[in-house]
Chains A and B, each alone.
Chain A
């Protein structure tokens, strides 16, 4: 059960319970997990560590998720696989996908499906 071994995942959500679930499940799948409660914190962590996958909420106090996507994709590093999950968005799924996001999940989502998508997105690309 280590489909995500050697994979670093950055989880960004202002909801503590959601960060907990992500962390527990991803750790169980073998990933190294970093958690941030808003975009600004996430960007700091992203700059400090080598991150393969980012899963981010959109609306958070102190740093919007879509701003984070913009910041990350504009950095010169190889762009990680970015997933966005949100309860409500001003933008359409297509608009967000065009920003360089692999997939957009609307809350409430199927957890198994998210993890499956993460694993699939990494197939064929060698994790750093």
Chain B
């Protein structure tokens, strides 16, 4: 019967081995020989640790100590280098046999071709222990962040993160030990060169080994181009408004110059009429205020605002600043710009971004009605309905065809003439509003062209 048992060992695809307390090989079944890359090492008395992947030697020694002290079977994963140079992963158990002072090792091959993906993936991946220490990283990880494997193993993944990400990431990882099976989060990892990459992490915990398997997607370039796109769309919107703004500032400047010249002349002629001077000075002050308002509006809408914190935003204030910027353009073209605003219209968000969306909608409405004859108007109505604030931009235009409605929220779709629209206005506006936990939609039921922004009230 004993010889049959031996045959089972030799026929098995699993690894069996017996090693002494110094990790020297006493017995190993023949699978080792057929699989492993250093068949020459496979002799009695060979150092068992030589079969292991470099980083796992230390861990294995620790496991032997634990097996010896606890007298319990230790479960763990090991990676062994095989003859084609790749690594195979084994789900392993190690038991200490007190009587003969030997360790009995059993390893079940866990590897199928899928583990190849680990080495060929273009995305960084790593395996860390439940307390965040790095067990292994894939080649893409090393390439993406510039580290050598030795620099990473037995370091905590948290050490590589941006200061501000350490606690939030630790908190996320903690969720896994509290029963969540998978987590997804973002943070910033410092590369060897010292710059930071924005990373999207998808992490699962292996219940047996307690190891965390991390698949990483580098978002840095994507974020940078998104920011650029947002910024350029905003600049395009402002560019379209530049002529109006020039007009709006030039007139008041001309008034100030004229009034100053008038005052100079009256003073030179010593025909000083106090009241008249007062009236003229008042006129100058009012005119300066007009310029200040325009500049303030421009400043708040043109600066980099994507990273502003979300604060309480008074929509009445946003609308009033936008009207300061656009009023003249509408007046010049005989378009009535009407507003119907309730009191207390506070939302949580970014002032400049909400303004940008409204300017976009107003510009679209303007373009829709400017060429028409008859009564031309654009109206902004803001109402609070239960816990939501509805901002509607309505115009007297000819409406929007179904074909356009279906496509208009797509980036780069435009009905405007070449050079006039970027085709980004609505798609970016929609994104901004969704970032604000709101929705932006075209109201197909309305008789007039009507766009609605719904934002949660603060």
Pair from one complex:
yes
A residues near B (Cβ < 8 Å) are 15, 17-18, 21-22, 24-25, 28, 59-62, 85, 87-88, 106-112
Contact A87 B255 (CB under 8 A): no
**Is A109's CB under 8 angstroms from B262's CB?**
no
User: Which single residue of chain B is at the shortest CB-CB distance from A13?
Assistant: B251
Can you list 28 A-B contacts (CB < 8 A)? A15-B251, A17-B258, A17-B287, A18-B254, A21-B255, A21-B258, A21-B261, A25-B258, A25-B261, A59-B247, A59-B332, A61-B334, A62-B334, A87-B249, A87-B250, A87-B251, A88-B250, A107-B250, A107-B251, A107-B253, A108-B254, A108-B257, A109-B254, A109-B257, A110-B257, A111-B257, A111-B258, A112-B261
Given A59-B247, A107-B254: A21 in contact with B259 (beta carbons within 8 A): yes
B117 to chain A, nearest CB (A): 60
Which A residues are in CB contact (< 8 Å) with B333?
61
Give the docked Cα–Cα distance between A17 and B254 (Å).
Answer: 9
Q: Are A61 and B283 in contact (CB under 8 A)?
A: no
Within 8 Å by CB of B246, from A88, A110, A111, lies A88
Nearest Cβ on chain B to A12's Cβ, whole angstroms: 14
Chain A residues near B251 (CB-CB < 8 A): 15, 18, 87, 107
Task: Provide the residues of chain A in CB contact with B257, threshold 8 Å.
Answer: 108-111
5 residue pairs, one from A and one from B, having the closest CB atoms:
A87-B250, A21-B258, A107-B250, A108-B253, A87-B247
> Does B171 interact with chain A (Cβ within 8 Å)?
no
CA A41 to CA B246, docked complex, whole Å: 25
Question: Are B261 and A111 in contact (CB-based, < 8 A)?
Answer: yes
Docked complex Cα distance between A112 and B268 (Å): 15
Give per-residue flags for B237-252: 1 if the beta carbon is below 8 A from chain A beta carbons, else 0.
Answer: 0000001101111110
Q: Closest A-chain residue to B243, C-beta based?
A: A88
Measured in the bound complex, the distance between the Cα atoms of B331 and A60 in whole Å is 8
A22–B261 Cα distance when bound, in Å, is: 11
Chain B residues near A87 (CB, 8 Å)? Answer: 246-251, 254
Residues of A within 8 A of B283 (CB): 17
Complex Cα gap A28–B261 (Å): 13
Report which residue of A62, A87, A107 has the largest number of chain B beta carbons within 10 angstroms of its beta carbon: A87
| Known interface pairs A87-B246, A107-B250; A18-B258 also in contact (CB < 8 Å) | yes
Q: Which of B251, B254, B331 has the most CB of A within 10 A?
A: B254
Which of chain B's residues has its CB closest to A25's CB? B262
- Chain A residues near B253 (CB, 8 Å)? 107-108
- A59–B328 Cα distance when bound, in Å, is 10
Which B residues are in CB contact (< 8 Å) with A107?
250-251, 253-254
Please, how many angstroms separate the alpha-carbon atoms of A107 and B246 in the complex?
A: 9
Residues of A close to B255: CB separation below 8 A: 15, 17-18, 21
With A17-B283, A88-B250 given, can you name 12 additional A-B contacts, CB distance below 8 Å?
A15-B255, A17-B287, A21-B262, A24-B262, A85-B254, A87-B248, A88-B244, A88-B247, A107-B251, A109-B254, A111-B257, A112-B261
The CA-CA distance from A106 to B243 in the complex, in Å, is 13
Alpha-carbon gap, A49 to B321, bound state (A): 43
Q: Which residues of B contact A106 (CB under 8 A)?
A: 250
For residue B51, give the distance in angstroms from its CB to the closest CB of chain A.
Answer: 79
- CB proximity of A4 to chain B, nearest CB, Å: 15
Query: What is the CA–CA distance of A62 and B250 in the complex, to the nearest angstrom?
Result: 20
When distances are taken between beta carbons in the complex, the residues of chain A under 8 Å from B248 are 87
Within 8 A of A (CB), among B251-287: 251, 253-255, 257-259, 261-262, 265, 283, 287
In the assembly, what is the distance between CA of A31 and CA of B81, in Å? 102
CA A127 – CA B258 in complex, angstroms?
A: 26
Once the chains bind, are A61 and B262 in contact (CB under 8 Å)?
no
- Determine how close the nearest CB of chain A comes to the CB of B288; give it in whole angstroms: 12
Tell me the bound Cα distance from A121 to B244 in angstroms: 31
- Measured in the bound complex, the distance between the Cα atoms of B261 and A110 in whole Å is 9
Alpha-carbon distance between A109 and B257 when the two chains are bound, in angstroms:
8
Shortest CB–CB separation between residue A62 and chain B, in angstroms? 7
Q: Which residues of A contact B243 (CB under 8 A)?
A: 88
Instruction: Tell me if A61 and B331 are in contact (CB < 8 A).
Output: yes
CB distance from B448 to the nearest CB of A (A): 22
- Rounded to whole Å, the gap between the CB of B271 and the closest CB of chain A is 11
Contact residues in A for B265 (Cβ distance below 8 Å): 28
- Give min CB distance, B252 to chain A, whole Å: 8
CA distance A65 to B247 in the complex (A): 14
* A24 to B244 alpha-carbon distance, docked (Å): 28
* Smallest Cβ-Cβ distance to B242: which chain A residue: A88
Measured between C-beta atoms, what is the minimum distance from A23 to chain B in Å? 11
Q: Bound state CA distance, A17 and B331, in angstroms?
A: 17
Chain B contacts of A62 at CB under 8 A? 334
Smallest distance from the beta carbon of B162 to chain A beta carbons, Å? 47
Knowing A17-B287, A24-B262 are in contact, say whether A108-B332 is a contact too (CB < 8 A): no
A76 to B78, CA, bound (A): 102
Residue ID in chain B nearest A58 by CB atoms: B247
- Cα distance A106–B331 in the bound complex, in angstroms: 21
**A61, chain B: closest CB distance, angstroms:** 5
Q: Which of B274-318 contact A (CB under 8 A)?
A: 283, 287
Q: How far is the CB of A56 from chain B (nearest CB, A)?
A: 14
Question: Taking each of A15, A106, A107, which has the highest tally of chain B beta carbons within 10 Å of its own beta carbon?
Answer: A107
Write out the residue numbers on chain A whose beta carbons fall within 8 Å of the beta carbon of B287: 17
Out of A22, A24, A28, A108, which one reaches B250, CB within 8 Å? A108
